[in-house]
Amino acid sequence: MSKRKAPKSEKNEDIVEALIELAEYEKNVERNRFKEKAYRKAATIIAGLDKRIKSGDDAKALPGVGDKIAKKIDEILETGKLRKLENIRADDKSTAINLLTRVSGIGPAKAKELVDAGIINLDDLEKHKDKLNHAQLIGLKHFHDFEVKIPREEVKELFESVKKVADSIDEEYMMEVCGSFRRGAKFSGDVDILLCHSEFKHSDKHHGDLLHRLIKKLTEKELVTDKISEGDTKFMGVAKLPKHKHFRRLDVRLLPVDEYYCGLLYFTGSNIFNTEMRAHAHQKRFILNEHSLRPLECGKPGAPLPVSSEQDIFEYLDYPYKKPEDRD
């Protein structure tokens, strides 16, 4: 997945970008996941507004916006900037950690380790490749390409190319692009494909070579250029279309056919929508996750319910159906 996905808002873009930057700081430097989640939730809610926020009090009427975030919004509205962010940007260590975590495969702990060793920029990383693992080396190799957002049409083209290869192997493959793309985003940070096969069910002990044979063929066709990791059910790597100049992050996840639609719902997102739907399921005495929908029986999850579409899940839960583009 892309490491930095900021929601967009034409009306409140300055506020949204500031909150996302604060979230990145809390995640990468302070390692405070609670504050990170709070900033991201507020940013997502504000990004969905179709009108300009006029004050912090105005923002506090929104879910996920408390006093502290409201005060920061007031400061942005009144001064056009945020003192806390200026202090963060002026701190060399914080800036270096935030930069290094943008390299795919480098998390906050590794970034701090590198900065503590005196490695503060990409040039330093190039000189100390011995400190990086395989995934991080690929992230460094393609850093500039991974920073470039993928236009929707290019995601479609890459997906269609992958699907064409899959169909040539076995027409029983089924797949779809998930994430923000499926929710209608104009640009994506990476391409996440959910894959299944009609003969692969949860009860099967072996996955066969369903994923491996697809990746093998994609590599032979030179669509896949680098492998970060490859297991029986998940591939992480790099892809490139012949007529395009940028290399792109590609993830392919294999699910059993009887888990496919719960997985499709979950991996489409958004995170806020998933949280709300799982909470609703619990109120209705169900357990919903990326694998299954189960009724709660005497406080314990029962057998998975048969699910043959996303709509089935909404109907079981008596939850109004929302199209993917309405799940932000």
> Which residues are known to be catalytic?
72
Which residues touch 249 (CB under 8 Å, ≥6 apart)? 1, 2, 104, 142, 146, 189, 190, 191, 236, 237, 238, 239
Q: Burial level of 197, CB count in 10 A (0-12/13-18/19+)?
A: buried
Tokens of 269: 């997102």
Q: Concatenated DSSP letters for 189-255?
A: SSEEEEEEETT--TT-S--TTHHHHHHHHHHHTTSEEEEEEE-SSEEEEEE--TT-S--EEEEEEE-
Amino acid type, 100: L
Separation between Cα atoms, residue 176 and residue 192, nearest integer Å: 8
HEC assignment per residue over 138-199: HHHHCHHHHCCCEEHHHHHHHHHHHHHHHHHHCCCEEEEECHHHHCCCCEECCEEEEEEECC
